[in-house]
Structure 1
Amino acid sequence: MDIELRKSSSRTRVFKTVFPGETNHYNTLYGGLALNWMDEIAFIAATRFSRQCYVTVSSDRVNFNVPIPAGTIVELDAYVSKIGKSSLEITVDTYCEEMYSDKRTKSMTGVFTLVAIDENRKSTPIKFPEPQQLGL
């Protein structure tokens, strides 16, 4: 399968709602919870890319540009931005939408590096399964 097609088919989007119990004393989303969500979706995108086991080895940089208030919709958009021998760099863009208007703001961006691992939890080269194995 073409690498660009594989990258586009592994792009992953998740929507969440920010509830009051997920906020800090400023009534905005906890930064740690936002990182958790971003790491989780990065893992899903990596797994969808080659259907191998992955572990996160780093979050290179996360920019918290705009606070995300309670009562908003959050979209996390993860995509493969770099391919190595055994690692993938996954970029996660996070958008905040007001619940009852069309206002949408890019709130955060983060880059996560995940490494493919084998059954012994050692790094292994990224493999590309045949399209029929993926149901494509």
Structure 2
Amino acid sequence: MKLSIQEKIQNSRTSHFRAVFPELTNHHNTMLGGKAMEIMDEIAFITATRFSRKRFVVAGSEVNYTKPIPAGSIIEVTGEVTKVGKTSLKILVRVIIEDMYSNKTEEAIKAYFTCVSIDENKKSISVLD
């Protein structure tokens, strides 16, 4: 059965939780931006792959860091397809800080990743069948 684009978007939503321990932090006792970017890049890639089950590369990103992520927090990183192009997808990735010992949450990072579908020769191909 062929899925609609809306069904593919819904089915490809991705979520990942991680504790922010010292190996992820800098001298300010907050999460290193590069470590956060690494996790977000992976979530964008997984979301794109789950959408069309094709090979993808991340071709670009726009990242807005709005809040430092303190050590001892839990982060939730989510990915969702926001735009479907001919050969690319735009993926919204959010990083939400969750306090370990309360229900308090707040957005720390919001990013858009452009993922391009490629064939085995690394040439761009349609994201849809």
| TM-score computed with the length of structure 1 as normaliser | 0.91
Distance in 2, matches of 1:101 and 1:50, equals 37
5+ residue gaps, structure 2? none
Give 1:117's aligned residue: 118
Classify the secondary structure of the residue corresponding to 1:114. strand
Verify: 1:31 aligned to 2:33, yes or no.
yes
Alpha-carbon deviation of 1:127?
2.6
Q: Which runs of 4+ in 1 moved over 4 A?
A: none
Question: CA offsets per residue over residues 23-76 of structure 1, 9 Å max, x none?
Answer: 0110000000101100000000000000000000001x2111110011110000
Counterpart code for 2:15: R
Distance in 2, matches of 1:40 and 1:96, equals 18
Contact 2:86–2:128 (8 Å) recurs in 1: no
Verify: 1:49 aligned to 2:47, yes or no.
no
Counterpart code for 1:52: K
Question: CA offsets per residue over residues 95-135 of structure 1, 9 Å max, x none?
Answer: 0001111110111100000100001011111134xxxxxxx
Counterpart code for 1:67: P
Give 2:127's aligned residue: 126
Superposition pairs of residues 77-92 of structure 1, within 5 angstroms: 77-92=78-93
| TM-score computed with the length of structure 2 as normaliser | 0.96
Alpha-carbon deviation of 1:2?
1.3
Classify the secondary structure of the residue corresponding to 1:94. strand
Give 1:11's aligned residue: 13
